[in-house]
Structure formats: structure tokens, C-alpha cells
Amino acid sequence: MGGVTAILKKELADHFTSYRFLFLFALIAMVSLITAYMAGVNISTQLVDVAKPRFVFLMLFTSSGIGFSFVQFVAFFGPLIGLILGFDTINRERNEGTLSKLLSQPIYRDSIINGKFLAGVAIIAILLTSILLTVAGIGLLMIGVIPGIEEVFRLFIYLIISITYISFWLGAAILFSIIFRNVSTSALAALAAWVFFSFFVSLGANAVANALTTDTTISSSEAQMTRAKIRKAVSLISPMELYSDSTITIVDPMRRTTKSMVQMGWMEQLSITRFSGPLPLGQSILVVFPYITTLIAITFICFGISYAVFMRQEIRSV
Amino acid sequence: METGAVIETHNLTKAYKGQTAVDNLSFDVQEGEIFGFLGPNGAGKTTTLLMLLGLTEPTSGSAKVIGIDPCREPVKVKRLIGYLPENMGFYRDLNAWETLRFIAELNEIPRSEADGRIESALKTVGIYKEAEKKVGAFSRGMRQRLGIAEVLIKRPKAAFLDEPTLGLDPDTTNRIIELIEFLARERRMTVLLSSHFLHHVQKICHRVGIMIKGRMVAQGPLSQLAEEKLGVGQESYTLEEIYLKYFQEE
Ligand SMILES: Nc1ncnc2c1ncn2[C@@H]1O[C@H](COP(=O)(O)OP(=O)(O)O)[C@@H](O)[C@H]1O
Ligand SMILES: [Mg+2]
């Protein structure tokens, strides 16, 4: 246990004094501020003469001012935070010869990964929380709406899911840093994984769905249904899809779901036909729960592979 | 059987793909002894040390360090042994004091005690004045001393030093050799010293083991090896001569 705490402490200190953290923070802060500002302008012009709808405050995070919303921004670029924080975790120590020093101390090998992962998660949590609060602050000033209890609660859940999501990418990056001894190779691999899951999986999901349902004799609605199901199934291997689907349900209760009716399971269809108002918080949580579980599960899988590979690896300073 | 051996190996073997790095190695090191572990590059010295620390799994054979099997309980062994790896790296952004504090934390040395140990270790190796300097700005000699300080703050029963004087100037080499001798004599520390600086090894080692291509071709006190190989009495031989003799025979 002592190993994890010592490494966690050192890693945190390293992060806070590193330019990498500083740049990351500055970059994210800038983009989020711009997004929040644009969203704020957008909302306040739209709200001029109408009664304020429910969940106006959440719209700060979901309405797109300059092409993308805060939520979309985190879904798309959030992975990069995790990857940038983690891609050189182990291989840098190996290349600098500090890994053999660490490993010759009385700690278990997994303490090293755990300590570093936890430090990264703490950094991610700090980054996201402070930025979320800043955006909320700006919104408060611009649209002058005080968030309700439920909105605060939804934002909190959103924060937790987002931290989990980016932590998954951190875990993946740590795995790359174990597999690839060369720092730039692992950076490239991380980037490739990001591109793959951000662009290829959803494109690929469409392609697969279309390819599998070319039979024109099937009635169009049936084909559409199958296609949608396949698309959904394929894109569920993408953590990005898991994340987007779950967060949208949480922070955009009016939209209720990102999916079209045909893609819904019977539970969701039921809920959508039963209630005409926004999806209640409890329902939202119920809908996203499997997504979150899956996100956590794939993070653990990543970790499992990391342990297995790291435990067997030959430790040589050269 | 209680032998008082700090290190004991029995037919320890490590085979990498297509090559045996350590071949049926059996040797022991007694308490308080400085054991010189000699051999050319690639002889298998580092591999042996890694196996003794549980950092590499042996292919076959067994080892005991202070009565513990490093394969089964590597963490226990590492708590009791100080290891100076060859080509050891350092965190460049930490200063000497912070480096040692980090090592102390990893060893779960209580804070109240750590400061005292760090100070005394820095003084022993002679870099106390540079305690606040970033390790990135250290010379090779200073880093090596810091590496030894890392070993010292653990107050280990035994130290494994892998080529501690490699790449150092003669003066620094002498100081480090003297330091090792001092630690063995005054602190009763058992030292396993891997090196190919025969001249120095001759000066301080009680016994040596000569390793060539993974096999230990000779071990024992220098005088004994000299008699066996050169047939001469003490004083008139150097370890270099003995070593070369073995080397030529291979
Ligand atoms: N990871 C490895 N894979 C394959 N061979 C290795 C590996 N590590 C070391 N060796 C080989 O094992 C032999 C012993 O190396 P080493 O123990 O480092 O020798 P020394 O420390 O005496 O110079 C060398 O021939 C080296 O090439
Ligand atoms: Mg070596």
C-alpha cells in the first residue's frame, strides 16, 4: 500500500509542475470558455421573449454555439486528455532507467501502475471539475438563471461519467506505454486509437449496417430497423458512443435519448410513450446505468491487460 | 542447515531464447563479506543479480537471499537488500534530498526517521552540500554517489552493486571503492560487487567469483585462485593475471 501512496504523491507533484499539464489546462479552459460564451449568447438571444423552458441551465452545456457544444467537445477531445496524460507513463521510466530503480524497491509491480493511474484520474477530475464550474459561472452571469437541484445533480452525474470516460482513455494510454518501449511509437498508437474510435467506428458501423441489409425486398421499415440495430451494436464497441449516449441522456433530458425510436429497446420505448415530459432523473440514471457499467468494465479490461503484460515484462535498464 | 550465508544459489539458470545467460550457477556469499563478481560484458552478472532480487524469473535452479526465496517473496527480499542497478536512471527534476525522500517513502521509512537517515547517507557519500541541487545537473560521479545513498538509507543487510564505478574517473572510482570497503567494515554490510575493475576488486574483496559465458569458472579467496592458476605465493600476482588465465582457457 505504501508504494501506491508514495508514487501517487510523486506523480501528482510531477503533473502539477509540468508544462504538459499547464498547456492542457490552458487549452481546455480556452475552448470551454469560448463554447460557454457562445452558448450563453445563443441561449439569451433565443430566450428574449419566451418563457424560460425547463433545464435552461443545462442548455449551456448542450447547445452548440460555434458548431459544437461543451458536451460534444468533451466527448470528442476528452480522450486526448487521457491519452496525453498517459502515453509515456511506463516507457519513459524504462528509457530513463528509473523503472529498475522503482522495481528494486519493496513494492509490488501493480502499485506502480495503480499509483500512476490514480494520479492521472485525480488530475482529470481536477481539470474537469474546475472547468465545469467555470462554465457554470459564466452561464450564471450571462443568462442569469440559477440551476435547480435536479440540474446540479445531473451535472454532477455528468461529471462522474466524464471522469470515468477520460480515465478509460488514460488506462488505454498506460497500456500503450507498457507495450511500446518507444515513447513516440506509443504516442502514435494512442492517436491512432483515438482516430479509429472517433471516426472509423461510426463510419464503419454505417457501412456494416448498409452492407448487411442490401436486400431490397425487405420492407423499408424493417430494413431500417435492422440497419439501426446493427449500427448500434457495432458502434457500442466505441467508448465514445457509450459516453455520448449516456451523457446526452443525463444532461439533455428533453431530448430523452440520442437514438431514434427504431433503435430503442422496449423499456425506452415504453418510457417515451408513457411520459410526455422530460425523462425523470431516476429514469435517466436507469437508462445510462448499463453504459456506465460498460465503460467501467472496459477500463478494467484495459487494466487487466496492463497488469498481465507488465508483470511478465523483462526489466532491463538497457 | 544454518550456514550463515546471506546469498546462496543452487544450479541457478537463466535461458533466454537461443542463449543461456546464466548456466547452473552455484555460489554463496557469507555475512559481512565483500564478494567480487567478475566477468566480461555479457557474462551474466546482471542477470544473476536480477534473479537474486526477484526481478527476473530463473529458468531453473534456486536462490536464497537472507533465507528468503526471491522468486516467491520478491518484496521481502527487496526490503532487506539495497540494489544499485547498472546505468541507473534518476528523476532529473528532483533534487538529491527529494530523491532520497521518495526512496524512503517507497520503503515505508517513517518521516521522522527518514530525515536523519537521508542526512547521514548524504554525508557518508559526500554530497551533502549538493542536497538541494537538481539531479539533472549532477555529474556522473555525483549520481553514482546518490545511487549509493539510495542504498544506504534502507540500512540494508546486504547490498548488490552492479558496476558501481563504471564510467567514473580514477579519483572518484577510488573514493567509491573506499566507501564500499568502509561500509562492509564498519556497518558489517554484506556486499556483492559486480565489476570488471580488477585492480579495485583485488583491493577490497574477500572472495571473488569469475564468471565467463554464464558459468562461474572459479570462486574463492584470491590467494587460493592464485595458487591454483599461477602457482605463486601472495604479493606477487594480480587478479588481472589470474583472470586472463581463466579467460584464455575458455
Ligand atoms: N532480455 C534479454 N533477452 C535476451 N538475451 C538477454 C536479455 N538480457 C540479457 N541477455 C543476454 O544475457 C547475457 C548476459 O547478460 P548480462 O547479465 O547483462 O551480462 P553482464 O552483466 O555480465 O554484462 C548477454 O549475452 C545478454 O545478451
Ligand atoms: Mg551487466
Q: Where are the domains of chain B?
A: 5-89+161-249
Choose among A5, A14, A104: nearest Cβ to B85: A104
With the most atoms of ligand 1 within 8 angstroms of its CB, the residue from B37, B46, B201 to mutate is B46
pTM of the model: 0.87
pLDDT for A241: 81
CB distance A6–B88 less than 8 Å? no
Residue B169 has pLDDT above 90, yes or no: no
Mean pLDDT calculated for residue range B204-226: 86
- B239: pLDDT confidence band, cut at 50, 70 and 90? low
C-alpha of residue B45 to centroid of ligand 2, in Å: 6
Residues in chain B: 250
Using a CB-CB cut-off of 8 Å, the residues of chain B touching A3 are: 106
- Confidence at residue A260, expressed as pLDDT on a 0 to 100 scale: 44
**Mutation site for B-interface testing, chosen from A90, A104, A311, A316 by largest number of B Cβ within 10 Å:** A104
> What pLDDT sits at residue A318?
40
**Separation of alpha carbons A255 and A225, rounded Å:** 20
Mean residue pLDDT of chain B comes to: 88
With an 8 Å Cβ cutoff, are B83 and A6 in contact? no
What's residue A40's pLDDT? 82
pLDDT (average), residues A89-103: 92
Q: What is the pLDDT of residues B67-76, one digit of tens each?
A: 999 999 999 9
| Residue A187 clears pLDDT 50, i.e. is over it | yes
Q: Three-state SS across chain A? A: CHHHHHHHHHHHHHHHCCHHHHHHHHHHHHHHHHHHHHHHHHHHHHCCCCCCCCCHHHHHHHCCCCCCCHHHHHHHHHHHHHHHHHCCHHHHHHHHCHHHHHHCCCCCHHHHHHHHHHHHHHHHHHHHHHHHHHHHHHHHHHHCCCCCHHHHHHHHHHHHHHHHHHHHHHHHHHHHHHHCCCHHHHHHHHHHHHHHHHHHHHHHHHHHHHHHCCCCCCCHHHHHHHHHHHHHHHHCCCHHHHHHHHHHHHHCCCCCCCCCHHHCCHHHHHHHHHCCCCCCHHHHHHHHHHHHHHHHHHHHHHHHHHHHHHHHCCCCCC
pLDDT of residue A262: 45
Cα dihedral across residues A156, A159, A161, A167: positive or negative:
negative
Q: What is the ipTM of this complex?
A: 0.88
B83 C-alpha to center of ligand 2: Å? 13
The residue-averaged pLDDT of A172-189 equals: 95
Residue A308 banded pLDDT, cuts 50, 70, 90: very high
> Average pLDDT of B133-138?
94
Strand partners, B62: B10
Between chains, do A317 and B91 touch, taking CB under 8 Å as contact?
no
| Atom from ligand 1 closest to the CA of residue B48 | 17
Provide, as residue numbers in chain B, all residues whose Cβ is less than 8 Å from the Cβ of A107: 75, 78, 106
| pLDDT (average), residues A190-204 | 84
Residues in chain B within 8 Å Cβ distance of A10 = 102
Instruction: Say how many Å lie between the CA of residue B47 and the centre of ligand 2.
Output: 7
Give me the pLDDT at residue A217, please. 54
> What CATH code is assigned to B5-89+161-249?
3.40.50.300
Please tell me if the CB atom of residue B219 comes closer than 6 angstroms to any atom of ligand 1: no
Partner-chain contact B106 A9, CB within 8 Å: no
Per-residue pLDDT band for A219 (boundaries 50, 70, 90) equals low
pLDDT bracket for residue A268 (50, 70, 90): low
A253-257, B43-47, B122-126, B156-160: range with lowest mean pLDDT: A253-257
